[in-house]
Amino acid sequence: MPRPWSAHAVYGTTARVLHWTMAVLILFQATIGIVMTWAPEGSTLAKLSTALSLYDVHKLLGVALLALVLVRLANRIGQGVPAEDPSIATWQAETANLVHTWMYLLLIVVPLLGWLGVSLFPALTAFGITLPALVAPDQKMSEPVFLAHAVAAFVLIGLVVIHVGAALFHAVIRQDGVFRRMWPRDEEA
Ligand code: HEM
Ligand code: HEM
Interval 121-166: pLDDT, tens: 999 999 999 999 999 999 999 999 999 999 999 999 999 999 999 9
CA distance 75 to 12: 9
CA distance 164 to 92: 14
More confident residue, 86 or 46: 46
Pocket of ligand 1 (CB under 6 A): 26, 29-30, 33-34, 37, 58-59, 62-63, 65, 107, 110-111, 114-115, 117-118, 146, 149-150, 153, 156
Is residue 96 predicted with pLDDT exceeding 70? yes
Is residue 46 predicted with pLDDT exceeding 80? yes
Kindly state the average pLDDT of the residues 97-101.
98
SS (H, E, C) the chain: CCCCECCCCCCCHHHHHHHHHHHHHHHHHHHHHHHHHHCCCCCHHHHHHHHCCHHHHHHHHHHHHHHHHHHHHHHHHHHCECCCCCCCCHHHHHHHHHHHHHHHHHHHHHHHHHHHHHHHCCCCEECCEECCCCCCCCHHHHHHHHHHHHHHHHHHHHHHHHHHHHHHHHHHHHCCCHHHHHCCCHHHC
Nearest ligand, CA 27: 2
- How much distance in Å is there from the Cα of 74 to the middle of ligand 1? 25
Is residue 12 predicted with pLDDT exceeding 60? yes
Q: What phi, psi does 129 have (nearest 5°)?
A: -95, 130
Confidence class of residue 189 from pLDDT cuts 50, 70 and 90? low
Q: Ligand 1 atom 42: the closest Cα is on which residue?
A: 114
Domains and CATH numbers, the chain: 13-188 (1.20.950.20)
Q: Ligand 1 atom 9: the closest Cα is on which residue?
A: 33
Closest-CA residue to 178 (of 93, 107, 73): 93
Nearest ligand, CA 180: 2
- How much distance in Å is there from the Cα of 40 to the middle of ligand 2? 33
